[in-house]
């Protein structure tokens, strides 16, 4: 499994290096603007960093989906299914690599954002905790700044995105397996993705809003992970039946 994960990491490494390089350049520009008190520069680069952070995690998941699609639809990628590894191990390695990448990227961007916002708040003698509280309350008016609340929200966000990525995995695998070679199989995959997301969100939204905020976000995150595990298993089973050679 570790060897397969290293193989998957190599296939997705370039996009992560580009993302890291762009982040490093934007952060350097932000710090230059901050220490030279160039408000225009650090304001623009702060906005740029926010955009990089918000899209960066999405890009990691989407690129994993692109790699999976190529593996199933190109001769070079299809060689992977001829190795002495079951589809459960192959897909499991893809999901674990994607999940760990999303987790690490989320933690990195959160810490970087927290440090940058702290610097800006000090410059204007503002309370960073009040700022963060207002940000959290845009998600849920009952949220307050506590370590438990912050961790619960982060867990929910990351597990939700991972669930969306694996939902896309399943939709693509089903469409490719059943309609291999058809030019319009992407349309079927997209329709399946939408329908699966509607069903998953319906279940997640059944979590009572009357419980504590931490419990609500934590349970929703656990449900997302449970769906991820279930869809991962179904995806690997379909791959084993239709794509394994």
pLDDT tens for 49-104 read 888 988 888 888 888 888 887 877 776 666 666 677 777 888 888 888 888 888 88
3-state helix, strand, coil split of the chain in percent (to 5) is: 85, 0, 15
Please tell me whether residues 116 and 15 are part of one structural domain: yes
Asked if residue 206 belongs to a domain, the reply is yes
Share of the chain above pLDDT 90, in %: 16
Q: Quick check: is 177 in a domain?
A: yes
- On whether the CB atoms of residues 82 and 245 are closer than 8 A, the answer is yes
Residues 77 and 158 in one domain: no
Asked whether residue 230 is domain-assigned, the answer is yes
pTM of the predicted model as reported, rounded to 2 decimal places: 0.77
Choice between 3 and 168, residue whose per-residue pLDDT is larger: 168
Count of domains forming the chain: 2
CB 242 within 8 A of CB 179: no
Residue 136 belongs to some domain of the structure:
no
Residue 243 pLDDT: 66
| Structural domain of 236 | 141-245
Of 126, 152, 183, the position where a domain reaches its end is 126
Task: Please tell me whether residues 17 and 100 are part of one structural domain.
Answer: yes
**Cβ atoms of residues 183 and 167 within 8 Å:** no
What pLDDT is stored for residue 226 in this prediction?
93
131-170 exposure pattern, b = at least 16 Cβ within 10 A, e = fewer: ebeeebeeeeeebebeeebbebbbbbbbbbbbbbbbbbbb
Do 181 and 105 reside in the same domain of the chain? Answer: no
3-state secondary structure 13-75: HHHHHHHHHHHHHHHHHHHHHHHCCCHHHHHHHHHHHHHHHHHHHHHHHHHHHHHHHHHHHCH
**Coil, helix or strand at residue 131:** helix
The residue from 92, 126, 160 where one domain ends is: 126
- Token pair 């008190």 in the structure block, residue: 37
Q: Identify whether residues 147 and 85 lie together within a single domain.
A: no
Question: Is 156 found in the same domain as 236?
Answer: yes
Summarize the confidence of residues 24-51 as an average pLDDT.
87
Predicted confidence (pLDDT) per residue in 158-202, tens digit: 888 889 889 999 998 888 877 766 667 778 888 889 999 899 989
pLDDT of residue 189: 84
Last residue in a domain, options 126, 155, 183: 126
Contact 50, 113 (CB under 8 A): yes
Predicted pLDDT at 132:
63
Would 133 be classed as within a structural domain?
Answer: no
Say what the pLDDT of residue 77 is: 61
Do 111 and 186 share a structural domain? no
Closest CA to 7 of 89, 108, 62: 89
Do residues 114 and 230 share a domain? Answer: no
Query: Nearest CA to 232 among 36, 64, 2, 111?
Result: 64
pLDDT of 155: 86
């Amino acid at each position: 499994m570790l060897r397969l994960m290293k193989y998957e990491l190599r296939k997705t490494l370039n996009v992560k290096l580009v993302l890291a390089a762009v982040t490093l350049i934007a952060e350097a520009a932000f710090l230059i603007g901050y220490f030279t008190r160039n408000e225009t520069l650090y304001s623009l680069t702060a906005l740029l960093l926010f955009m990089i952070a918000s899209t960066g995690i999405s890009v990691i998941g989407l690129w994993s989906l692109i790699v999976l699609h190529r593996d199933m639809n190109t001769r070079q990628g299809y060689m992977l299914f001829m190795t002495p590894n079951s589809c459960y191990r192959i897909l499991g390695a893809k999901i674990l690599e994607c999940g760990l990448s999303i987790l690490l990227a989320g933690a990195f961007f959160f810490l970087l954002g927290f440090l940058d916002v702290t610097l800006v708040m000090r410059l204007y003698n503002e309370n960073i905790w009040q700022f963060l509280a207002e940000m959290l309350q845009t998600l849920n008016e009952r949220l307050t700044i506590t370590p438990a609340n912050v961790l619960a929200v982060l867990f929910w966000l990351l597990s939700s995105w991972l669930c969306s990525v694996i939902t896309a995995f399943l939709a693509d695998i089903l469409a490719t397996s059943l309609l291999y070679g058809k030019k319009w199989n992407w349309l079927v995959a997209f329709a399946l993705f939408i329908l699966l997301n509607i069903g998953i969100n319906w279940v997640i939204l059944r979590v009572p809003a009357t419980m504590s905020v931490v419990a609500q976000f934590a349970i929703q995150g656990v449900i997302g992970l449970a769906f991820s595990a279930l869809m991962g298993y179904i995806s690997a089973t379909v791959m084993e039946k239709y794509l394994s050679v």
